[in-house]
Amino acid sequence: MRSALVSSYWADVELRDTHEQIATDPAILRKCAIVADDLKGTMLAFDPIDDGFLLAVKQKDALQTIGVRGDAVGCFMAR
């Protein structure tokens, strides 16, 4: 995980954790802090509203959540 850490930056992330969120069009956007990038399309982000970490993946030109939330190490290892 240490090698994937980046200087944090803010990014819009589409919430796609639940069936309701997946069906929502347009997507619900959340401003999250990106803190790690595995350079394979998966990023670890901090969600300040839910006060926790999540995994987001690059899909076309967007970042989307994939239903993995929790502590930073646990989320990162779940990828």
DSSP state of 24: -
Instruction: Provide the mean pLDDT of the chain.
Output: 95
Regarding pTM above 0.95, the answer is no
DSSP β-ladder status, 62-70 and 5-14: parallel
- Check whether 47 has a pLDDT greater than 90: yes
CA angle 42, 45, 49 (to 5 degrees): 145
Query: pLDDT value at position 60?
Result: 87
Residue with tokens 């394979």: 40
Query: pLDDT value at position 40?
Result: 94
Give mean pLDDT, residues 35-54.
97
Residue 66, amino acid: I
Tell me the three state secondary structure of residue 33. strand
